[in-house]
């Protein structure tokens, strides 16, 4: 695979995406992806193809399946791409050769099966430090929060509409029952026909909140259907957690510039304020964490919002005091 920065090859990317890379190899891929926009683009396109490949193709018996597949594609598979450097030691890659060739070939076949003309141009949007709205070929509209990325085909020519996401985005999907809209974010799959919802994936945790329609969220063999006002969180350690009711609309602040609270627990408000303002608000008194907030914040500084919160409970049995220590705002 052509690249800039530290040379790398497709074999190692396959190991990385398959979860078979060693810690050192995992770090090598991460450093290579971060080295340049070119590397990031190549990785995102490679991952999108990987995400759309059949899951069973990644887990079949390596030797038997390789022999069968070689017989079928002997005269049709593309020539392997040259790599600038092999980072794997012979003892590491020889044992994986059959599986690597199999997976790469299946990816190529899947790519040509999904896209009618055998080739497709990918669109990659990086929002960087701004909110960005993008209209897709089917008319669906995606609003990216800052520091987020989407990758999708220039044309949806198959029986699905695949999109890969990193970061956070709000989706308004154009209804089309013949072509489900499928988003891959990390190892989570979100499948819809026509609906609106928010996906946020940060620090190994993915959260999906539905505004309209029905959304199916899956990880491996587990899945859950979400209705309007419901959300689910997926973590790397625990997997798919139970769905719950989303109180208020804190998730779409980057679309509306408003924080809408409707009996929203204080800890959720604080978490959102820390994300938006880069603040460091700490709830020292744990009994305050689930105090309900019902109001709308718009055009206010973080200090003004904290003042409103403390004033709200001034006459209640829960009297919140604010203390500033260095760069921390402590609620106690």
Q: What does the pLDDT read at residue 313?
A: 78
Q: What does the pLDDT read at residue 103?
A: 44
Domain end marker among 199, 223, 245: 245
For 6, the token pair is 């530290």
5 within some domain: no
Is the domain of 159 the same as that of 235?
yes
Q: What does the pLDDT read at residue 151?
A: 85
Domain end marker among 245, 264, 297: 245
Q: What does the pLDDT read at residue 83?
A: 41
**C-alpha distance across the termini of the chain, in Å:** 55
Q: What does the pLDDT read at residue 20?
A: 74
Is the domain of 189 the same as that of 132?
yes
Domain end marker among 114, 137, 164: 114
Q: What does the pLDDT read at residue 9?
A: 67
Q: What does the pLDDT read at residue 51?
A: 65
Mean pLDDT by 10 residues, the chain (332 residues): 56 75 80 82 73 48 37 40 42 41 40 48 86 94 93 82 90 93 86 93 89 91 91 83 86 91 91 90 89 91 90 75 87 88
Is the domain of 142 the same as that of 52?
no
The structure tokens 């829960």 sit at 318
Which domain CATH number covers 170? Answer: 2.60.120.1440
Q: What does the pLDDT read at residue 35?
A: 83
Is the domain of 266 the same as that of 301?
yes
Q: What does the pLDDT read at residue 86?
A: 43
4 within some domain: no
Q: What does the pLDDT read at residue 247?
A: 86
Segments forming the whole domain that contains residue 317: 253-331
Is the domain of 173 the same as that of 284?
no
Q: What does the pLDDT read at residue 241?
A: 78
Is the domain of 83 the same as that of 169?
no
């Amino acid at each position: 695979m052509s690249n800039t920065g530290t040379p790398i090859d497709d074999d190692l990317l396959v190991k990385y995406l398959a979860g078979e890379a060693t810690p050192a190899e995992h770090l090598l891929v991460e450093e290579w992806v971060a080295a340049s926009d070119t590397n990031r683009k190549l990785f995102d396109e490679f991952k999108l193809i990987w995400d759309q490949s059949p899951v069973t193709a990644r887990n079949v018996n390596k030797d038997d399946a390789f022999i069968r597949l070689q017989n079928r594609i002997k005269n049709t598979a593309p020539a392997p791409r040259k790599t600038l450097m092999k980072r794997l030691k012979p003892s590491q890659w020889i044992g994986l050769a059959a599986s690597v060739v199999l997976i790469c070939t299946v990816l190529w076949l899947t790519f040509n099966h999904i896209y009618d003309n055998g080739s497709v141009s990918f669109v990659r949007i990086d929002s960087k430090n701004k909110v960005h709205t993008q209209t897709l070929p089917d008319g669906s509209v995606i609003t990216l929060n800052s520091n987020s990325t989407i990758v999708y085909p220039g044309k949806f020519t198959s029986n699905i509409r695949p999109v890969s996401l990193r970061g956070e985005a709000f989706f308004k999907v154009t209804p089309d029952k013949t072509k489900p809209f499928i988003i891959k974010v990390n190892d989570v799959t979100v499948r819809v026909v026509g609906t609106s919802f928010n996906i946020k994936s940060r620090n190994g945790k993915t959260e999906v909140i539905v505004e309209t329609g029905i959304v199916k969220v899956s990880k491996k063999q587990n899945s859950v259907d979400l209705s309007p006002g419901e959300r689910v969180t997926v973590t790397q350690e625990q997997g798919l957690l139970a769905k719950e009711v989303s109180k208020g609309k804190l998730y779409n602040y980057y679309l509306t510039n408003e924080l809408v609270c409707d009996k929203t627990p204080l800890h959720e408000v604080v978490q959102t304020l820390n994300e938006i303002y880069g603040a460091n608000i700490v709830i020292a008194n744990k009994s305050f964490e689930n105090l309900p907030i019902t109001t709308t914040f718009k055009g206010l500084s973080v200090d003004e919002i904290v003042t409103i919160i403390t004033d709200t409970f001034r006459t209640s049995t829960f009297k919140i005091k604010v203390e500033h220590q260095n760069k921390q705002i402590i609620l106690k």
